[in-house]
Amino acid sequence: MINKFFVYLVLSLFGISMIFPFLWMLSTSLKEPSQIFTSTLQLWPTPIMWSNYIEAWHAIPFGKFYLNSIFVAVAVTFGQILTSSMAAYAFARLKFPGRDKLFFAYLATMMIPGMVTLIPVFILLKMFGWLDTYKALILPGIFSAYGTFMLRQFFMTLPTDLEDAARIDGCSSWRIYWQIILPLSKPAIATLATFTFLGNWQSFFWPLIVTSSEHMKTLPIGLSYFQDIYSTNWTLLMAASVIVLAPALIVFILNQRFITQGIALTGLKG
């Protein structure tokens, strides 16, 4: 009993220290500029400035940035699930010469830091004439060695008997993938979807590099508009951050158990 109390106490302390920055963000987003830097710790803003949110929303083309961010994150997520699951199925179940070597070669690409491929990919996109389009924002993101690896590991755990039975009934490989493997892999796919969506939602450097016109930009770039060389408008920046964070937070809360599963499944953090 006492033991349990102690465990809860320690966990609560950690929990509070984790959640405090978020509360602080929320509180700052509702303060007047003159209230941010006071000598006493003041979490509850008086007066509550809801107008910060309206002002932040109008300071940059938030609506357009929001649509871009949602569209890009959703498209990349779907694309990545499609390509990763198909590749993973091939690597896990189909038999062809050099399969495992190919898989390890693909896996090895995870070791190459993104900065190394940045300029080659940029040049490629320029040659295709895709710079400053949704294609540049989406297509490079839909292939993922990590996603393929994760789904392959999961597919390997599915019993082969199911597949054998289907084959005896005359089922094609495509149909096995589509009607047996995919429906059975919902938890793994949800995990991958969550990681991919969150990763894309906060992606800053790639969208910054490949877009130049205002109407192609995404939310993280919009957020950086609030910070300038000489001054930062903290209340508006925090209000904007809350607006940007909301969907990611919702995705996280809904899919929390999948994230834990994903880490347990691969031993890797997205």
Partner 1 sequence: MSKNLKICFAAALMLSAIFSTGCSSKKENSAGAGKQTEIRVAYWGAPSEKEIINKTISNWGKNNPGIKVVLEHIPSGTYTDKVLTEIAGGNPPDIIFCEVNIFVTFFYKNALLDLTPFLSGDKGFSINNFFPEVVSRFTRNGKLFCIPRDTAPFACIYYNKDLFEKSNVPFPKDNWDMNEFLATAKKLTIDDKGRHPGDPEFNEKKISCYGYWGWTWHNFVYSYGGKLVDDIDDPKTCLLDRKEAVDGVQAFVDLSYRHFVSPKPDALTNSGMSINQLFIMGRLAMFQSGIWETPNLRQLVGDKFKWDVAMFPKGPKGKRGFGTGGSGYAILKTCKNPKEAWEVVKCLAGDEGQEMLADTGLAQPANRKIAGGKHWAGDLNPPQNKKMLNEAVKYVYYEPFHPLWREASDKYIGPEMDLIVHNTVPVKEGLAKVAVKVNKILKQK
41/27 Cα distance (integer angstroms): 11
CA distances from 101 to 12, 108, 148, 158 (A): 48, 10, 15, 22
Interface with partner 1, residue 113, by CB under 8 A: no
Output the six-digit token pair for 30.
């509702």
CB 136, CB 211: distance < 8 Å: yes
Output the six-digit token pair for 157.
């755990």
CB 264, CB 97: distance < 8 Å: no
Interface with partner 1, residue 131, by CB under 8 A: yes
Interface with partner 1, residue 134, by CB under 8 A: yes
Interface with partner 1, residue 219, by CB under 8 A: no
Please state the separation of Cα 54 from the chain's center in Å. Answer: 27
- Closest separation between CB of residue 1 and partner 1, Å? 41
Q: Tell me, residue by residue from 141 to 180, as one string, x for binding to partner 1 by CB under 8 A and - for no binding.
A: -------------------------------------xx-
151/43 Cα distance (integer angstroms): 44
The span of 12-20, 145-153, 213-221, 245-253 binding partner 1 (CB under 8 A) equals: 213-221
Q: Contacting partner 1 (CB under 8 A), which of 122, 153, 167, 202?
A: 122
- Closest separation between CB of residue 213 and partner 1, Å? 7
16/64 Cα distance (integer angstroms): 35
The residue among 27 and 133 lying less far from partner 1, judged by its C-beta, is 133
β-bridge partners, 34: none
The residue among 92 and 142 lying less far from partner 1, judged by its C-beta, is 142
| Residue from 26, 51, 6, 63 nearest 238 by CA | 26
Q: Tell me, residue by residue from 21 to 60, as one string, x for binding to partner 1 by CB under 8 A and - for no binding.
A: ------------xx-xxxx-------------------x-
The span of 48-56, 103-111, 120-128, 164-172 binding partner 1 (CB under 8 A) equals: 120-128
Interface with partner 1, residue 133, by CB under 8 A: yes
- Closest separation between CB of residue 252 and partner 1, Å? 20
Q: Which residue has the tokens 């991958």?
A: 192
